[in-house]
Amino acid sequence: MAAQRILVIEDEAAAREALKSLLDEEGYTVCTAESGRRGLERLEDFRPDTVVCDFYLPDIDGLQVVRAIRSAGDSGVRVIIITAGCGGEEAESTLRREADFFFQKPLDLRRFRDVLQAEGDDAARGALALH
């Protein structure tokens, strides 16, 4: 089985590189983008299984990224939103409904790894979902 392909969309260079290093060490194939629009451009060529996206980006926010992925018909792509805070309960509730997973920063690395490893297991994915 080929390594899972993960697109990391994160505007902070240090966080982006830390996530890339962690995922590389875990054996994933990783591509990065520094903005929402750049990440969406990379979707077609890279064809990720999972997108890990920060909520606050310099151009469009994580919710707009999720909606663009869904409207493009990429329903098989898992989307994990990460954020240090997303503008209140209503925004957080919307993200929890529209993204597959939602993590507050700093990441719980054990749970994050569990979510990534549960790729093809619907029962495990359901148990890990934060909805």
User: What's the one-letter identity of residue 49?
Assistant: D
Residue 129 lies in a domain: no
Give the 3-state secondary structure of residue 26: coil
Residue 30 lies in a domain: yes
Residue 19 lies in a domain: yes
- CATH number (domain holding residue 72): 3.40.50.2300
Residue 126 lies in a domain: no
Q: How many domains does the chain divide into?
A: 1
**∠ CA 82-4-96, rounded to 5°:** 30
pLDDT digits 0-9 by tens, 7-66: 999 999 999 999 999 999 999 999 999 999 999 999 989 999 999 999 999 999 999 999
In terms of pLDDT, which residue wins out, 104 or 25?
25
pLDDT digits 0-9 by tens, 73-98: 866 899 999 988 766 676 667 777 88
Radius of gyration of the chain (CA): 13
Residue 130 lies in a domain: no
pLDDT beyond 60 at 120: no
